[in-house]
Structure 1
Amino acid sequence: MPMTDFQGIIPILVTPFDAQGRIDTDSLQSLVEFNIAAGVHGLGIALGSEIFKLTGDERDLVLKLVVDTVKGRVPVVMNSSAPGTDIAVAQARRAEELGADGLMIYPVSFMPTGPEAVLDLFERIDAATTLPIILQDVPQAPIGAEMARRIVLHAHRTAAIKVETLPTVPQVLRMADKVAGQLTVIGGAGGSYMIEEFCRGARGTMPFCSQPEDFVAVWDDLTSDRAGAARERFDSRIMAINRLAAQDGDLFYHVHKQILQRRGVIATAFVRSPTCGIDGITQLEIDALLEQLF
């Protein structure tokens, strides 16, 4: 499925595990169908999928199962970032072989060596596959507006940039001002500032996958000039979840998986190690909020 603009709501799928920490394929298929039924515009496999905790075979299993379940109904984006350029290129090729419709990549961050290495990474991936690329601007490997423009000149299939360098709202404004007409600017960070980012030029976001219908409804309101309705739904349905999920380490994995388990989409809320622990007070807060919203 060709994909050139990456606009709209593209949730990042969690990876469901069973109680022993093995990939739960039935729950993953259920999760895909749950999101498609909500009207999402694409699906992603990335850091929110605990992808860095998966073996190579498990990465292949997750991507292949998602592609096979989607059956072309929405585009599937695969994060092929890696600590080395050759690994990233190999993972990008593998993603294309398994049916991904787009790639999302942040620069090598373990031992960064400067802008020329960033350009080399994206130029080599552009040459190695035929898939469109989403640049991922993250705090550990930021991509400024000028660098994004340079990458476009070297990697012609670059189609979008996902802005996650904090603070994201002014960063989106700067990015949209500089790359309008070249790249689609999309937000991330759980969609916490999707309304503010939209008002500053973002035309998509990649939230978690536990509330797809709420994000789609907010998106529909924003694109139909119903700003008041968008704000009301966001504040009443999304904001409290994101605020709670951000209060400690990787608590967001636990919160969103518990939502999905409560909604009957996945069987367990297991999060692979390493992960933060949940104290009794925090679990009571999660339980109370989920009882209120779901």
Structure 2
Amino acid sequence: MTKLRGIIPILPAPFTDDGASVDYADLRSIVETVIAEGAHGVALLGVASEFYKIDDAERRLMIETTVDQAAGRVPVVVNITRNATELAVKDARHAEEVGADAIMIVPPSFIPPGSAAIIEHIHAVADSVKLPVVIQYAPNVTGVSIPVSAFLDIERQRGGELYIKAESVPPGPLLSAIVEQTEGRMGVFIGNGCVQMYDSLERGAAGMMPGAAMVAPYLAIYDAFVRGDKATAFRLFNDLLPVLNHTTQAAELFVQFEKTILKARGVIKSDVCRRPNAVPDEAMRTMLRRYSDYMKERFGAPLMP
């Protein structure tokens, strides 16, 4: 039986104004904010965390800070992103040692080694800890394609909690195949800003892993769906969709918009992303401000107070 569920936002990495350091006080502020809003868990060191711009010491301290701030109130999921199996195993063991509740494994993507080696990597990292495992599958980002049959083979070979974060485009067919063919034993989460959230819930998704800046709207949709009020969930999702369409146009833009919103809300002090980064032009920023007012009308609170 799967236990991770609901809305588990990916935490951004808040930096100082010069981008030189991670602001760990602001990281604590983000964790506290999303827990107070009702998030069912937190995840970090994903694409939305700019994991590819974080050094080893920062990575370790971000995990330790997040686990400490969460204090057992919600599960903490840690992304394992190394291309080398030996390094990924070390990272997974560190996450377990400091109190993470689950790991999420990104298949090796730089000079992809082939399906057999990727599956071997996933097994080696998963076997190194006694934690629930999420496999992040984002072929549009990593360039690594894995057939549905491979995920089903992994599920058959493994015991314990196993999930996939489906970020293929579209995610629906993969989600349905896994839910149906594992009879729900393998839970499926959706990423990519969750722009297919409602369809995914209808197909049996265990939950969503969106960004951390707009947790409340996602929760409103999810809560309405699980209590059986699908009409409200569908309406709220379609209210949110134009905002997602604007903020998720590119990964780096999404990270920047996340931080801009969190700064405007007073959750973090700086919305700096480490270079090289995407910079929205003034028209995009103006549209974000328009959507701030729109969100106040539709959900009762502006994006940027």
- With the shorter chain as reference, the TM-score category is over 0.9
Change (3 A) 1:224 1:235: same
Q: Hey, what does 1:180 align to over in structure 2?
A: 183
Equivalent position of 2:72 in the other structure: 72
Contact 2:175 2:200 in 1 (8 A): yes
Query: Who is 1:56 aligned against?
Result: 56
Change (3 A) 1:26 1:68: same
Q: Which residue of 2 aligns with 1:7?
A: 5
Report the AA paired with residue 192 of structure 2: A
Q: Distance in 2 between matches of 1:248 and 1:48?
A: 11
Q: Kindly report structure 1 stretches of 4+ aligned residues shifted beyond 6 Å.
A: none
CA distance in structure 1 between the partners assigned to 2:56 and 2:13 by the alignment:
14
Question: 1:145·1:178 contact (CA, 8 Å) conserved in 2?
Answer: no
| Contact 2:6–2:40 (8 Å) recurs in 1 | yes
Judged with a 3 Å threshold, the aligned counterparts in structure 2 of structure 1 residues 75 and 248 are, in CA distance, closer, same or farther, namely closer
Contact in 1 for aligned 2:14/2:22 (Cα 8 Å): yes
Alpha-carbon distance, 1:158 to partner: 4.9
Alpha-carbon offset, residue 40 of structure 1: 1.1
Q: Of residues 139, 149, 153 in structure 2, which corresponds to 1:150?
A: 153
Mapped partners of 2:146, 2:226: distance in 1: 27
Please give the alpha-carbon distance, in whole angstroms, between the structure 2 residues aligned to 1:13 and 1:181: 27
Number of residue-to-residue matches in the alignment: 291
Distance, in Å, in 2 between the alignment partners of 1:188 and 1:179 is: 21
State the match for 2:163 in structure 1: 160
Question: Within the alignment, does 1:108 sit opposite 2:108 as a pair?
Answer: yes
Return the TM-score normalized by structure 1.
Answer: 0.93
What is the RMSD of the two structures over their aligned residues, measured on CA atoms?
1.7
Identity level (%):
32
Contact 1:126/1:156 (8 A) holds in 2: no
Q: Structure 2 unaligned runs (5+)?
A: 296-301
Residues in 1 aligned to 2:293 and 2:220: alpha-carbon distance in whole angstroms: 21
Is there any run of 5+ residues in structure 1 with no aligned partner, and where? none
* Residue aligned with 1:184, SS: strand
Q: What whole-Å deviation, never above 9, does each CA across 1:227-268 have from its counterpart, x for those lacking one?
A: 1111222222x3222111123452101111111111111111
8 Å contact kept, 1:145–1:179: no
Q: What TM-score, normalized to structure 2?
A: 0.90
Whole-Å Cα distance in 1 between the matches of residues 251 and 236 of structure 2? 27
Which among 219, 222, 233 is matched to residue 236 of structure 2? 233
Whether the 8 Å contact between 1:152 and 1:158 is mirrored in structure 2 is no
